[in-house]
Amino acid sequence: MCSTCCPRWWRDFVGRGPEMRVLVAMSGGVDSSVAAALLLDAGHEVVGVTMRLWGGESDTGCCSVSEVDDARRVAHRLGIDHHVFNLGDDFDRYVVEPYVADHAAGRTPNPCVECNRHLKFDKLLRRADALGFDAVATGHHARRVRDGDRWRVARGVDAAKDQSYVLSMLTQRELERTWLPVGELTKAEVRARAAAMDLPTAAKPDSQDVCFITRAAGREDFLRRRIPLHPAEVLDTAGTVVGAVDAVELVTIGQRKGLDLAGGDARRYVVDVDVAARVVTVGSVDDLLQREVRIRDLVWSAEPAEGPVFVQVSAHGEVAPARLTGDLLRWDMPHKRVAPGQSVVFYRDEFVLGGGIAR
At 40-64, the pLDDT tens digits run: 999 999 999 999 999 877 666 565 6
CATH class of the 8-139+180-196 domain in this structure: alpha beta
Active-site residue identified among 62, 63, 112, 115: 115
Maximum Cα–Cα distance across the chain = 70
Query: Quick check: is 6 catalytic?
Result: no
Cβ–Cβ contacts within 10 Å for residue 127, how many? 17
Question: For the structural domain made of 289-358, what CATH number should be given?
Answer: 2.40.30.10
Q: What is the pLDDT of residue 17?
A: 52
Q: What is the pLDDT of residue 11?
A: 44
Angle, vertex CA 119, rays to CA 210 and CA 135, nearest 5: 125
* The model scores a pTM over 0.85: yes
Q: Is 118 helix (H, G, I), strand (E, B) or coil?
A: helix
For the chain, list residues with pLDDT below 50. Answer: 1-13, 15
Q: What is the pLDDT of residue 15?
A: 44
As a whole number of Å, the CA-based R_g of the chain is 22
Report the C-alpha gap between 175 and 82 in whole angstroms: 24
Q: What is the pLDDT of residue 179?
A: 98
Query: Quick check: is 63 catalytic?
Result: no
Count each helix (H run) and each strand (E run) in the chain, helices first: 10, 17
Contact in structure between 43 and 69 (CB atoms under 8 Å): no
CATH class of the 228-283 domain in this structure: mainly beta
Q: Are strands 21-25 and 135-137 parallel, antiparallel or unpaired?
A: parallel
The domain segmentation of the chain, as residue ranges, is 8-139+180-196, 228-283, 289-358
